[in-house]
Amino acid sequence: MEGDQRHGSSAPGASHAGFRAVAVALVANLGVAAAKLVGFLITGSGSMVAEFAHSVADTGNQALLLVGRRQSERRPDPSHPFGYGAVRFLGAFIVALLLFGLGAVFSLAEGVNKLIHPHPLDDLPIALGILVVAIGLEALSFRAGVAAANQTRRGQGWVRFVRSTRIPELAVLLVEDTGALVGLGIALVAVAVSAITGNTVFDAVGTLGIGVLLAVNSVFLGIEMTSL
């Protein structure tokens, strides 16, 4: 009983909606990651490359969630008499520790490098345009996750819902998209201030901020997926 109260219920309709929301997010993040990579290659912005690492982590995360969901539906067999349901949680746990963790290390290292070896940034208006478009796409993905979560949230606060739901796709997607929007906001401010002042230190600080954000996401998701 306590476990049921802790983790809530997983209605088939809500679970399917969560799967659909992850699929939408995957398509959006593929485009966002490509745009950020182009932006970095044009501008050399540390914040842009950190956000590219963020999108790579998000995309890998969503791909593993979809694969895990499919694997979890396999019937029990002699080697797995209790079925494959735990694969859903394992995929999310791997993403939390590896992809987000590695993304955090990469972004922090890039930020330190930009502080020690600053260099001028080029074509910053292009970077700003890419970030604005990315925010719009992430907002659409976040909206899909919220709509799916509302099918089972039943008036719970968002933090409580993320910590109690037994649909890992929704928990990860909501945390991921929230982090993505915050990260894009950090990058937008960092690049804009660098463009206005001509001081690339702000871009380096933004890169470090994104690295810290990825590290926080990694720890939070790791803890939550372990609890499930």
- Mean pLDDT for the stretch of residues 19-24: 77
Indicate the burial class of 13 (C-beta count within 10 angstroms; 0-12, 13-18, 19 or more): exposed
Band (209; pLDDT cuts 50, 70, 90): very high
Structure tokens at 191: 């690049």
Give how far Cα 111 sits from Cα of 6, 96, 155, 196, Å. 39, 21, 40, 20
pLDDT > 60? residue 178: yes
The predicted structure's pLDDT at residue 206: 92
- Note the pLDDT of residue 212: 93
Residue 8 region by backbone torsions, left for phi larger than 0, else alpha for psi between -120 and 50, else beta: left
Q: Reply yes or no on whether the pLDDT at 7 is more than 60.
A: no
> What is the pLDDT, as a whole number, of residue 4?
41
Using pLDDT thresholds of 50, 70 and 90, give the confidence band for residue 14.
low
Task: State the average pLDDT over residues 47-70.
Answer: 81
Reported as a pLDDT band with limits 50, 70 and 90, residue 5 is very low
Strands (E), 63-174: none
Residue corresponding to tokens 């976040």 = 142
Question: What confidence tens digit (pLDDT) does each residue in 100-114 have?
Answer: 788 888 889 888 988
Does residue 182 surpass a pLDDT of 90? yes
pTM: 0.77
Query: Which pLDDT value is given to residue 189?
Result: 94
What's the pLDDT tens digit per position in 140-175? Answer: 888 888 888 888 888 888 888 887 777 777 777 888
